[in-house]
Amino acid sequence: MPQQVRAVVATARDAPVTVETIVVPDPGPGEVVVDVAACGVCHTDLHYRQGGINDEFPFLLGHEAAGTVESVGEGVEDVAVGDYVVLNWRAVCGRCRACSRGRPWYCFATHNATQQMTLTDGTPLSPALGIGAFAEKTLVHQGQCTKVDPKAEAAVAGLLGCGVMAGLGAAINTGEVGRGDSVAVIGCGGVGAAAVAGARLAGASKIIAVDLDPQKLEWATGLGATDTVRADQVDVVAAVKELTGGHGADVVIDAVGIPQTFTQAFYARDLAGKVVLVGVPTPEMTLELPLLDVFSRGGAVKSSWYGDCLPSRDFPMLIDLYLQGRLDLKAFVTEKIGLEDVEDAFARMHQGDVLRSVVVL
């Protein structure tokens, strides 16, 4: 039988979110209903509420979630009732040109549930990133569920569903940070701080955190940064070069995603170094660089989609590292809140007071 549950819904552009009763259908073929235990408040959810993704209101927000599989539809083989899972928005198809070339982390045809969740009057909801987990229960495709060790607290495990994975993956997967490398991370909010943690995991010898906010630099230091740069007090490029023997960093990660920070990243890297863009620009942003500089500096300029992660490979591994005490995922959880507190969490996000607010159900 379809279930009625409480959930956070964005009904119109820039309107405050509200807690509504929604209808979750029984899972159909390939679908799963998940009993959500916790879901992080990500900046992407705010983009949805602001209409920055598209205008398919009303939105069912939330996508950084962990919970337990409650029921499964016909043909579901990846997970079973009772499995503890982290939700992801890259459910690889296994058949597109990226998957067929052995690069499923670039999958161009990821799966979502076929059925729609609705308001009680039948109005269909658009789930954020195909998940919609600011809800007591949600309906997803089986491929969006990644089974992990149930010993990991849900408020921590769910963060791998988006922001923390994006940052960790930008360093480990996209940037391919190696032992002894120097790394600079520009922008040390949730994603940038995770990039710092990823660089530390990968064995970087020098990790330079760059931000305007001293609180964020303090958080980054706790996660492994060896040096900090206040971007409002010094020339960022000159400071990074000074900290790397005058050369620049081997890998520079732009976790902000605006032309100014990308240009800083481009010139703060060493010759043949890498620039990784993981901060998401807005559509109107443009960039101008001398083409000769692009050629003469060599190396690589990459964008990082979801940290170029493969959930089935990366989520269980990172949870194991957390349980071993080698990855401090708890450091990202600034506060635990209820469904009714999501709008306030968006405000705190703007103020820079939190790495992550996490809804606990």
Q: What is the mean pLDDT of the chain?
A: 96
Share of the chain above pLDDT 70, in %: 100
How far is the CA of 257 from the CAs of 72, 279, 289, 291, in angstroms?
39, 4, 15, 20
Inter-residue contact 165 to 235 (CB < 8 Å)? no
Alpha carbons 255 and 352: distance in angstroms, whole number = 15
Q: Which two tokens stand for residue 344?
A: 């306030």
The burial class, CB within 10 Å (0-12 / 13-18 / 19+), for 60 is buried
Contact assessment for residue 138 and residue 9, using Cβ atoms and an 8 Å cutoff:
no
pLDDT in tens, 238-284: 999 999 999 999 999 999 999 999 999 999 999 999 999 999 998 89
C-beta atoms surrounding 182 within 10 Å: 26
Q: What is the pLDDT of residues 195-225, one digit of tens each?
A: 999 999 999 999 999 999 999 999 999 999 9
pLDDT band of 351, cuts 50, 70, 90: confident
Residue-level pLDDT at 99: 95
Q: Which of 227, 185, 224 is nearest to 203 (CA)?
A: 224
* Per-residue pLDDT, 246: 98
Q: What is the DSSP letter of 240?
A: H
pLDDT in the model for residue 350:
83
b/e burial code for range 310-333 (CB count within 10 A of at least 16 → b): bbbebbbebbeebeeeebebebbb
Whether the pTM exceeds 0.85: the reply is: yes
- pLDDT, residue 234, reads 98
In this predicted structure, what is the pLDDT of residue 353? 86
DSSP state of 17: P
Across residues 9-35, what is the average pLDDT? Answer: 97
Residue in this structure with the two tokens 């990855």, named with its chain if needed: 327
Per-residue DSSP letter, 135:
B
